[in-house]
Amino acid sequence: MTRLTLHPLLAYSQHEVLPGLCTALMWDMRDPPTAARPTSNPHLTLSAHELAQSATAPPMPILRIVCGVFPQGPDPASGTDWTMEVRATSSSGGVTLGEVLSAIYQGLAVPLVYAEWDALCEMQRKRIGEVFDRRWREAADPAGVRARGLIRADCLLLHTLFGGLSIYFEQSGSCVLTVRRPPPVRN
């Protein structure tokens, strides 16, 4: 069996890359992938060459991403399974770094369905509602954002930063997404 490894920009590390950072990629997952920056040089965005690189070695045509923060329902058709499935669209046959980032971003932009909202306890609903209220009030188009309603990213609460991916050995071709909070703002 071939051992699967992740691209260094995607890989979670238990050791800090920089203080408070356990990944080589700085990215608020609510922002488009074009906002992702390498930790080594945060003034630069990722190049087209970097985004086109294989996300895994060996290249995988399909990569599934799960996260313990999200509910993992038994039936994807019910709308409560938040597993993100990334399919390679490039001629290389393998999922690229850019495709992984896009799948995460798009997966978090999915509107919540009633079944997901109903499955949350009252305290979770309150906290998610507060995050949603802050998001639409701070938006360039508050009325439009509010009309579109809650999205899955709101369920992350304050844990919106990419914390890296780890190989999920219990499911072949799967990774676990780690999320983290931004460091506190110091005045």
Per-residue model confidence (pLDDT) at position 185: 65
pTM check: above 0.85: yes
The residues, any chain, with a CB within 8 Å of residue 183's CB and separated by 6 or more, are 20
- With cut-offs at 50, 70 and 90, classify the pLDDT of residue 107: very high
Encode pLDDT of 47-100 as tens digits. 999 999 999 999 999 999 988 776 554 444 444 567 899 999 867 689 999 999
Comparing C-alpha atoms, which of 184, 180, 151 is closest to residue 69? Answer: 180
Percent of the chain with pLDDT over 70: 89
Spans of all domains in the chain:
5-110+158-180
Per-residue model confidence (pLDDT) at position 119: 84
Sign of CA dihedral 156, 157, 159, 160: positive
Q: What is the mean pLDDT of the chain?
A: 87
| Distance separating alpha carbons of residues 50 and 46, to the nearest angstrom | 6
Residue 2 pLDDT > 80: no
Mean pLDDT of 11-26: 81
